[in-house]
Amino acid sequence: DAKTTQPPSMDCAEGRAANLPCNHSTISGNEYVYWYRQIHSQGPQYIIHGLKNNETNEMASLIITEDRKSSTLILPHATLRDTAVYYCIVRVGYGGSQGNLIFGKGTKLSVKP
Amino acid sequence: DTGVSQDPRHKITKRGQNVTFRCDPISEHNRLYWYRQTLGQGPEFLTYFQNEAQLEKSRLLSDRFSAERPKGSFSTLEIQRTEQGDSAMYLCASSLVTGIAGTEYIMNTEAFFGQGTRLTVV
């Protein structure tokens, strides 16, 4: 079963920041938080991941709480092309032979003009 | 372009026929995953390979399904005697695992997905 909880849907105005929350209260010490998104009829696209520290790349920022029980994906200036289903996944990143991603239902983000 | 290629992109088949899909992972990646996705659901894990070894299979992978990765590069997923319930998007992903298996010194990079093969069984 997925180890994360996300709201089923969110709206965001174009040009504004989209903040997508995720709860992962049972996360283990060697599990990373990964975010993927899936635009309609395409394969999931990797966005960002982190272990403890906040991370930023050209697509997004990831804020992880100090207790690691929740995180927020931030799209700083959402565009219409960011409309997609966003998946938050916890996954063993080191110290184990696991690593298959377990997807939940994600958050459907609708960016509106 | 993620670098993971899947072929074909679309397949329509009659119930009872066999189908085979191919996945070419990113060339340096040693781990390969298969997922299935039905409408409105997130991708569901089917199986994964580390090089040519199939290390895990989910309960979703019935005996009509078989996956291979004979040389540790491309992989095939075959469905025998297709049923209408097999209609779905079949996704392939790959990642790189480095280090010593079974120890703390093993790292698994992020997985990159292909565009999927959409199967319709009529």
Q: B57-93, pLDDT tens digit by residue?
A: 998 889 999 999 998 899 999 999 999 999 999 999 9
Token pair 């119930």 in the structure block, residue: B15
CB-based contact (8 Å) between B114 and chain A? yes
Q: Which residues of B touch A37 (CB under 8 A)?
A: none
Report chain B's mean pLDDT, rounded to a whole number.
91
Q: Which residues of B touch A106 (CB under 8 A)?
A: 42
Both structure tokens of A28? 């283990």
> Rounded to 5 degrees, what angle do the CA atoms B55, B58, B61 make?
105
Both structure tokens of B112? 């990159």
Q: What is the mean pLDDT of residues B25-44?
A: 93
Q: Which residues of A touch B106 (CB under 8 A)?
A: 94-97
The tally of CA atoms less than 13 A away on the side-chain side of residue B82 is 20
Token pair 């992109």 in the structure block, residue: B9
Binned at pLDDT 50, 70 and 90, residue B103 comes out as low
Which amino acid is present at B88?
A
**Do residue A97 and residue B101 have CB atoms under 8 angstroms apart?**
yes
CB-based contact (8 Å) between A5 and chain B? no
Mutate to test the interface with B, among A55, A90, A101, A102 (most CBs of B within 10 A): A101
Both structure tokens of A64? 């992880």
A-B interface: how many C-beta pairs under 8 angstroms?
73
Rounded to whole angstroms, the Cα distance separating B19 from B34 reads 15
Instruction: State residue B104's pLDDT score.
Output: 60
Q: Over the stretch A10-44, which tens digit does the pLDDT of each residue have?
A: 999 999 999 999 999 999 887 889 999 999 889 99
Sign of CA dihedral A19, A22, A23, A27: negative
Q: Over the stretch A68-109, which tens digit does the pLDDT of each residue have?
A: 999 999 999 999 999 999 999 988 765 554 567 888 889 999
Instruction: State residue A40's pLDDT score.
Output: 87
Helix (H, G, I), strand (E, B) or coil at B85: helix
Instruction: State residue B72's pLDDT score.
Output: 86
- Judge whether residue A57 has pLDDT over 70: yes
Helix (H, G, I), strand (E, B) or coil at B86: helix
Instruction: State residue B110's pLDDT score.
Output: 82
Query: Cis omega (within 30 of 0) on the bond before B8?
Result: yes
